[in-house]
Every structure is written in structure tokens, then in C-alpha cells.
Amino acid sequence: MAAKRSKSETLRYTTLKVRLYPSAEQAALFEKTFGCCRYIWNQMLADQQRFYIETDKFFIPTPAKYKAGAPFLKEVDNQALIQEHNKLGQAFRVFFKSPENFGYPKFKRKKDDRDSFTVCNHVMGNSETVYTTRDGLRMTKAGIVRAKFPRRPQGWWKLKRVTVDRTRSGKYYGYILYECPEKKPEVVVPTPETTVGLKYSMARFYVADTGETADPPHWLKQSQEKLARIQQRLNRMRPGSKNYQETVQKYRLLHEHIANQRRDFIHKESRRIANAWDAVCVRGDDMEQISRITNRGNALEAGFGMFRECLRYKLARQGKELLVVDRYFPSTRTCSACGRVMPEEISMKRRTWTCPQCGAVLKREANAARNIKDQGLAQYFSTRERRESA
């Protein structure tokens, strides 16, 4: 029986991303597993649709039904097929719960789908189906796959499942999910002095209420310029030729490099802010909508949405708050000195503007960050008072 947790403990889930170096036989097994997962997903979805048309009832067959007619399914780990059944069931559950936010499950195609599969760890006595070794990851049927670990799990962490993923450039990665019991963090009550407001900026990533900016490193722009040159070369090549395939591989590797650079910057910056402040106030901007209405750049490439999510969980692990203000809050056209709200939006081309009521000269983005901070704190204390009085 699992040991009971005290009220002061909670469960935290941590994922370690490791680089996998499978042998030729192991890589072939992974590729076969990717294909079997796509096959079983499409078969279950097709049968579910046919069953619903014929009986007007919802039912998803299990993977065991298809093994007699498709013997190749027995060659891969059965856990990967079971997880596809679970994922399809979850896809239907979220669709039925919120169809306006989640689409109906679609059939998978090899050229569109992400090559990945998931297996769960089962403990039987003193043995486990999935576990790590000094320089590898042991998996059912694949054996020990050589792996490079960025860091090691603690001894009391419990391995729950592993997702194997192959990138477009041909690299294999393993995402190992651990269950980590830990003490609940003490709740940190924010104050105006220990809270920072952040305003998304197309040019500077964010501007804080103190006037501080993130200013993403220049290497990201340099990599994007190199990417444009490779795209120009591809347009002049004959598709399918050897030079074309080699250039496509360079193109994919550079895309991964850019994504890694962006991810590294976001994690380091969010960690720095989470450690330095007791609370962070941001506006819940829809980055996709911002990208559609502006021609000053692609807001989705900046990764500000990922930055907010990284801030959320890193703050929560320390008992701190990420205070999200409504995206329609008029932060830009509100004077942070006197509170006057301008009737019209302040143009993005204007760096500063003057309040007609109090005469304060305001920097557009820093002023918006201060308003976001004030609104976020007001929401926090208002919610806290309601909870205490309830």
C-alpha cells in the first residue's frame, strides 16, 4: 500500500527531457510503434463513428480487438496502444465538455502527425517495466536505450510514464514524467513593493512597471536571418534532389536550434523573475489575435504565451501568484498618475503621451505595466476578502 501523505505534503509532477540514442534495431522498433499508434487511432476513430451512426451510442473499441486482423500490432509495446485508446477517450471528453474550444478528434496522417508514443510504468513487486540506468532508459521490448540525462531524478521520485518523440530532423527524445512528493509551499502575500507588472512588447518582449525591458538576445534575429537564406536556396533547387534533401535537413536543424534558443531564454527569464518577486501581474492577451491585427511582427514567434505559463508554475511552486488581468482592460490608455481613461486607444507608434487631466508625461508601455500591476493587486485583495468573509 502507498504511504499516506500528511496534510503539509503535496504531489508535484516533473518531466525530465533526455536525448535518446537508439541502436538501429531500437530505432526500427520506435518507427514501427509510431505507425502502429497512428493505425490504431484511425481504426478506433472510424469504428466509433460507424458505431454511433448505427446505434446512436458512444463506444470506443479497445486495441485488443484489432490484433487478430493486424498481427503487426503484437510486435510493439501493448502499453503504447493502450495509451492511444486513453488519448482518444480524453479527446472526446474535452470535445463534449467544451466543443467551442476543442475540435472533434481527427484522423492522423503520417506527414502531419507528430511521431510519438507513450508508455506507462507498471510496478510488479520489486520490478518495474520502465526504469533508468546509469547511461540509459530501459523500456519494454526495446531494452536499454542509451540516453543522455541533463540531470538525475531524486531517489524518492516515482517514474510514472515515458513519452518517446522523434523530431523532424531525426533526433529522438524521451520525456520522463516523475511524481514528486514535497511539502506545500507557504502562501506568500504580495505587496506593491514586491510585485511587478509586465506588459507584452513586440520589440522588447516585455516592459516592466519599473521601466525594465527583457530585450531578447540578438542571436535569435541572426538565426532567423540565416533561416531566410536557406529558404531562398531551397526555392532555387529541384525538389527531391540530393542537394535539396541535405538543405531541407539543415533547414529542420536550424528550426530546432531557434526553438531551443527561444525556450532557453524563456526559462531563464521566467526563473529570474519568479525568484526576484512575490507576485507577477500580466494581462491575458490573446497572442493569436495580436498577431492577426498587427504588421509589426509575428507575436506568436516571441513565445510570450509560453513565458506566462512558465511563470505560472514556477511561482506556484514557491507559493506565489501570477495575477492575470482581463485582456480588455484599458491599460495603455489609462493614466497611472490620476486614473483618467482616454476615450481612444494610444497608437503603438507613440512612445510617450501626455495626460490632459494631470499633465503627466507617460511612457506608453511602462504606464500600461503600472496599470496592470495596480489592477492585478486590486483583483487579488478583492478575491481574498470575499474568501475570508464567506
CA neighbor of 212 nearest in space, from 280, 157, 132, 147? 280
DSSP state, 334? B
For the chain, the maximum distance between any two Cα atoms, rounded to a whole number of angstroms, is 80
**Residue that wins the pLDDT comparison between 359 and 48:** 48
Question: Based on the domain organization, do 109 and 38 belong to the same domain?
Answer: yes
Question: Residue 1's pLDDT band (boundaries 50, 70, 90)?
Answer: very low
Q: Do the Cβ atoms of 309 and 226 come closer than 8 Å?
A: no
**Whole-number percent of the chain with pLDDT over 70:** 94
Q: Could you tell me if residue 72 is inside a domain?
A: yes
Question: Based on the domain organization, do 177 and 218 belong to the same domain?
Answer: no
The pLDDT of residue 114 is: 77
| Statement: residue 37 has pLDDT above 90 | yes
CA neighbor of 278 nearest in space, from 316, 308, 250? 316
Q: Which amino acid is at 345?
A: E
Question: Based on the domain organization, do 174 and 295 belong to the same domain?
Answer: no
The pLDDT of residue 105 is: 93
Q: Do the Cβ atoms of 21 and 148 come closer than 8 Å?
A: yes
C-beta pairs of 191-196 under 8 Å, 24+ apart in sequence = 191/278, 192/373, 192/377, 194/277, 194/278, 194/279, 195/277, 195/278, 195/279, 195/280, 195/281, 195/323, 195/373, 195/376, 195/377, 196/273, 196/276, 196/277, 196/279, 196/280, 196/281, 196/373
Q: Could you tell me if residue 247 is inside a domain?
A: no
Question: Based on the domain organization, do 135 and 47 belong to the same domain?
Answer: yes
Question: Based on the domain organization, do 300 and 358 belong to the same domain?
Answer: yes
Question: Residue 4's pLDDT band (boundaries 50, 70, 90)?
Answer: low
What is the pairing mode between strands 279-283 and 195-201? parallel
Question: Based on the domain organization, do 78 and 167 belong to the same domain?
Answer: yes
Residue 227, Cβ density class (10 Å: 0-12 exposed, 13-18 middle, ≥19 buried): middle
Instruction: Give the 3-state secondary structure of residue 153.
Output: coil
The pLDDT of residue 40 is: 96
The pLDDT of residue 17 is: 94
Question: Based on the domain organization, do 157 and 276 belong to the same domain?
Answer: no
Question: Based on the domain organization, do 266 and 146 belong to the same domain?
Answer: no
What pLDDT, in 10s, does the model give residues 258-315?
Answer: 888 889 999 999 999 999 999 999 999 888 777 776 655 566 677 888 999 999 999 9
Q: Could you tell me if residue 237 is inside a domain?
A: no
The pLDDT of residue 6 is: 60
Distance CA 122, CA 174 (A): 17
The pLDDT of residue 2 is: 47
Phi/psi zone of residue 359: left (φ > 0), alpha (ψ -120 to 50 degrees), beta? left
Mean residue pLDDT of the chain comes to 89
Q: Which amino acid is at 125?
A: G
Domain count, the chain: 2
Phi, psi of 216 (to 5 degrees): -55, 145
What angle separates helix 304-316 from helix 242-276, to the nearest 10 degrees? 40
Question: Based on the domain organization, do 136 and 88 belong to the same domain?
Answer: yes
Question: Based on the domain organization, do 103 and 206 belong to the same domain?
Answer: no
What pLDDT, in 10s, does the model give residues 339-388?
Answer: 888 888 877 778 888 888 888 888 888 999 999 999 999 999 998 888 88
The three grid cell numbers given for residue 190, joined into one nine-digit string: 504580495
- The mean pLDDT of 75-87, rounded to a whole number, is 95
Distance CA 378, CA 373 (A): 9
Q: Do the Cβ atoms of 206 and 197 come closer than 8 Å?
A: no
What pLDDT, in 10s, does the model give residues 322-337?
Answer: 999 998 898 888 898 8
Beta-sheet strands, E only, within the chain: 9-21, 115-120, 123-124, 127-128, 131-132, 136-139, 143-148, 158-166, 172-183, 195-201, 205-208, 279-283, 321-325, 352-354, 361-363
Q: Do the Cβ atoms of 131 and 121 come closer than 8 Å?
A: yes
Q: Could you tell me if residue 244 is inside a domain?
A: no
Question: Based on the domain organization, do 133 and 273 belong to the same domain?
Answer: no
Domain span at 133: 9-183
Q: Which residues contact 172 (CB under 8 A, 6 or more apart)?
A: 19, 20, 21, 22, 27, 30, 164, 165, 166
The DSSP line for 215-259 is: ---HHHHHHHHHHHHHHHHHHTSPTTSHHHHHHHHHHHHHHHHHH
| Statement: residue 137 has pLDDT above 90 | yes
The pLDDT of residue 26 is: 97
| Statement: residue 256 has pLDDT above 80 | yes
